[in-house]
Structure 1
Amino acid sequence: MTFMGLPPEEVFKRITNLRNDYGDRVVITAFRRHILHTYKEEDIEIILSHSRNIKKGIAYRFMEPWLGTGLLISTGNKWHRRRKILTPAFHFDILKSFLKVFEEQSQSLVEALRQLNKEGTEVLDVIPFISDHMLYTICETAMGIKLDADKTETKVEYKKAILDIGAMVMERLTTFYLHSDFLFNLHPLGRRFAKSLAKVHSFADNVIMERKKAYDSGAVLNADNGEGKRRLALLDLLLESERKGEIDLEGIREEVNTFMFEGHDTTAIALSFGLMLLADHEEVQERIFEECKDIFSDSSHSISMSDLGEMKYLEAVIKEILRLYPSVPFIGREIVEDFMLGDIKVKKGSEVVVHIYDVQRRPELYPEPEAFKPERFLEADSRHSYAYVPFSAGPRNCIG
């Protein structure tokens, strides 16, 4: 089987059909690389729960010029140190302080849709529209700046560059001859990538240094979060770690760039697929609407964490969206220590790909697997704990 010359969507189809043709374990050999593809929940548990085989697959190195070796890409002691530094940034109280940002940006998105409707826009390309608004949200929570409120050329260029880079990484990933750094750097795609990368790094570096000056002088006075408290960005928490000697400025740059990517891209993809599914299932839309009416009645008060906790059906809808369309459909690992996968030995130096997309569509785990049925997640869950892993699992699960 060859993937050469195929567009990304065709590569995806072929990879997801491997299980139908060859079973739950498939080995692909490419340029002397041996890549084991796994589709079964028991195998996935062994792989993702392994305490030492946490090194990301070779494909992740295509993002290294952009993200450095931040939390997404690093491994070993560096990954453990960064995880320890960043975990407090996802404490419940920190996330609670971001709720006002999420609400403001959600209202902005709705208002933008209303404006398009007034202008008579009948067809909207959802993915770039949603990506823009998710980028605004993560920019404010990660770096403490309002990207949507400032139309200066540098901010517009930054927004375009960060969206373009993600697309270029995917194009490289699915164009196998561009896996060579030498060929990629000579190729027009590689040259475009370098230009976009320079803009992204320059912008992020300037924001970090400006924020550092303000932080060092004690002048970090973000907008009030609605409760009389200052609103801290992820960058502020990283600067506090830098003050303690736990991370340097290059490390801060790595983590800011990492969270700018991870925080907007995955969320935008999930929301885009979610809108598609809701458009196709008006009865689900109606049930979400009724749940919101029961919680808010006719009140226009700001949303609270307790309000979110009452949205049981909406939570089930989100889970079902991520079951059908996980934002990261595959996870790659480069094996650094031999281990047994059932009756086979997986050797150091090989690669393993975990098929999240496929395991979440196994009919023995999810009856009518192609159907959009949020009620699956309202029922008692007796499935294998690794049958639903849209945020990965084990020691290297998604920090968010």
Structure 2
Amino acid sequence: MLALILCAVSCFLYAWYQWESNYRRLKSYKLPPMYPGVLPIIGHAHLLIGNTTRLWTMVQRMAKEALANGGVISGFIGKDLYYIIADPEDSVTAANACLHKHFAYDFGKPWMGEGLVLASGPTWKRHRKLLNPAFSLQVLHSFLGVFNIQARRQVKHFEAEVGHGKFDHLASLKHIALETVCLTAFGITADEDKDFNKLYMAAVDQILNIIAMRFSNFWLQSDLIYSFTELRKKQDEVVKVLNAMSTAVIKRKKEQMQSLPREEWEAQRQRTGIKCKALMDLLLELAEENTLTDKEIREEVDTAIVASYDTTSCLLAYIMMMLGTYPEAQEKMYQELEEIFEGTDRDVTKDDLPRMVYTDAVIKETLRLIPTGPVGLRYVDKDVQLKNFTMRAGSQCALLIYGIHYHESWGPDVREFKPERWLDPNNAPNPNMFAGFSIGKRACMGRTFATLSMKTTLSHVLRRFKIKADINDLKLKIDFLLKPVSGSLVSLERRN
């Protein structure tokens, strides 16, 4: 027993010495103001312990502290130094200089592997170049048929809730959003595999929560400790389900493509009602050229799904709540749609999209106030000069998107929901101040896909319903994305 005690004390003293030496060395540099509450050995890690709601509270507090101290502060998690940035200009500098993701993103690699969101270095550059054609405006416009069909399905779902008071609209939005991305990514229709969406959605929710729990409990960040936990066991089970589902779809699609001549394959796709080429079809064509492996295809499709359906559905939920809270904004948006569609319920066309100016402003303003990706973490692999500080190689960087969106540069009405701020070209926000789809060279490739999908859905929903809600009831958490914990409720009234 005495030997164990002595061993424990020795380990503690060694850890203390290592941390103190590292802390003093780093403090000798010109560091930004330190976030309050740093402790020996663990740094600020104790402030992150808890559930995903606490993690969101911590991000808000850090943003407030950074904004009160010139836009950049510092902190420690264990021995790792973090530069915590809420200044718009410094954020762009850091985002473009630091292309390697933080080690926490590795927690998602058992599922998404080297998909575009998690990959770094040459793999990221190669995959981004290969996938660029899949996100061209011509390809995205070909999805409008799917977007309109799914928007009408969404309206049908909502019809059942009219007159029944407040309801959780996010559940319905997630269901339809996953159907949409499965159509555009997998080429699976809603009737083709009714169980797929339900099982996949449940598994995605589980794996994202597991990743968030691992990050917010610092002892679980150790691969050794994590390997002995029930959480790791649960992760392995969920990843096995997700990989099996994606692999089965890829196998089925490959067999379909290989069993038919290209012309017949295209004709069959048209007969099923899918007028666009799914992302997987494009990836499988790359596989035929030996450019991508089956594993890489699965990783990119899984990445595309989690990066689109969850983000889009949550943002649509927030937009509907904002419109329900601010009826004057809802009326302006409705009048814009009435002018474009002339009182009809026709489908959205590509010519309608640029005319939805106020709708676009509502989307951006909601994403500014409630960014679905409120923080981005990067590894600093070289010294990077900010305006007032130099980020040291080997440190970490936290890009506080939430803080950027509440920076004083937005004006005294920064906390107000004001879509009009986007409409005056003379006073329009500096592009560097908006990071709703991330920032810098690694900004989201799917931002145009998401915007077109949301504009289509909102145009159908708002032409059919009046929305009532209270955004102040919304409680949020972080599990990779910013999601509702409670209060995601609206009520609908059918328009005459």
| TM-score, with structure 1 as normaliser | 0.92
Residue number in structure 1 paired with 2:106 = 61
Structure 2 counterpart of 1:137, one-letter code:
T
Per-residue CA deviations over 1:346-369 (Å, capped at 9, x if unaligned) read: 222211011111111123323311
Residue number in structure 2 paired with 1:385 = 431
Q: Does the 8 A contact of 2:111 with 2:239 survive in 1?
A: yes
How do 1:1-400 and structure 2 match up within 5 A? 1=37, 2-21=46-65, 23=69, 24-50=71-97, 53-117=98-162, 120=164, 122-147=165-190, 150-152=193-195, 155-216=197-258, 217=260, 218=262, 219-220=265-266, 221-223=268-270, 230-380=275-425, 381=427, 383-400=429-446
- 1:149 deviates by 5.6
Task: Evaluate the alpha carbon distance shift between residue 141 and residue 158 of structure 1 in structure 2; reply closer, same or farther with a 3 A threshold.
Answer: same
Structure 2 counterpart of 1:270, one-letter code:
L
- 1:385 deviates by 3.1
Q: Does the 8 A contact of 2:421 with 2:428 survive in 1?
A: no
- 1:383 deviates by 3.8
Distance 2:315 2:80 in 1: 31
Q: Does the 8 A contact of 1:138 with 1:264 survive in 2?
A: yes
Greater Cα offset, 183-192 or 317-326? 183-192
Per the alignment, in what secondary structure is the counterpart of residue 306 of structure 1? coil
Greater Cα offset, 173-182 or 105-114? 173-182
Q: Does the 8 A contact of 2:401 with 2:436 survive in 1?
A: yes
Alignment coverage as a number of residue pairs: 393
- 1:172 deviates by 2.4
Per the alignment, in what secondary structure is the counterpart of residue 414 of structure 2? coil
Any stretches of 5+ residues in structure 1 without a counterpart? none
Q: Does the 8 A contact of 1:70 with 1:258 survive in 2?
A: yes
Per-residue CA deviations over 1:158-183 (Å, capped at 9, x if unaligned) read: 23212322232223222222222333
Distance 2:228 2:171 in 1: 28
Distance 1:397 1:302 in 2: 30
Per-residue CA deviations over 1:199-236 (Å, capped at 9, x if unaligned) read: 1100100101111122233335324698xx94210000
Distance 1:34 1:76 in 2: 22
Structure 2 counterpart of 1:395, one-letter code:
K
- 1:133 deviates by 1.7
Per the alignment, in what secondary structure is the counterpart of residue 347 of structure 2? coil
Task: Evaluate the alpha carbon distance shift between residue 177 and residue 126 of structure 1 in structure 2; reply closer, same or farther with a 3 A threshold.
Answer: farther
Q: Does the 8 A contact of 2:157 with 2:172 survive in 1?
A: no
Task: Evaluate the alpha carbon distance shift between residue 267 and residue 359 of structure 1 in structure 2; reply closer, same or farther with a 3 A threshold.
Answer: same
- 1:330 deviates by 0.8
Q: Does the 8 A contact of 1:138 with 1:260 survive in 2?
A: yes
Distance 1:26 1:148 in 2: 52
- 1:316 deviates by 0.7
Per-residue CA deviations over 1:240-268 (Å, capped at 9, x if unaligned) read: 11112221111101101100110111112
Structure 1 counterpart of 2:116, one-letter code:
L
Distance 2:160 2:77 in 1: 49
- 1:386 deviates by 1.2
Greater Cα offset, 374-383 or 13-22? 13-22
Any stretches of 5+ residues in structure 2 without a counterpart? 1-36, 38-45, 447-496
Per the alignment, in what secondary structure is the counterpart of residue 162 of structure 2? helix
Task: Evaluate the alpha carbon distance shift between residue 94 and residue 224 of structure 1 in structure 2; reply closer, same or farther with a 3 A threshold.
Answer: farther
The structure whose Rg is larger is: 2
Per the alignment, in what secondary structure is the counterpart of residue 431 of structure 2? coil
Task: Evaluate the alpha carbon distance shift between residue 126 and residue 180 of structure 1 in structure 2; reply closer, same or farther with a 3 A threshold.
Answer: farther
Per-residue CA deviations over 1:2-23 (Å, capped at 9, x if unaligned) read: 3253332233223322354462
CA RMSD of aligned residues (A): 2.1
Off by >4 Å, runs of 4+ in structure 1:
none
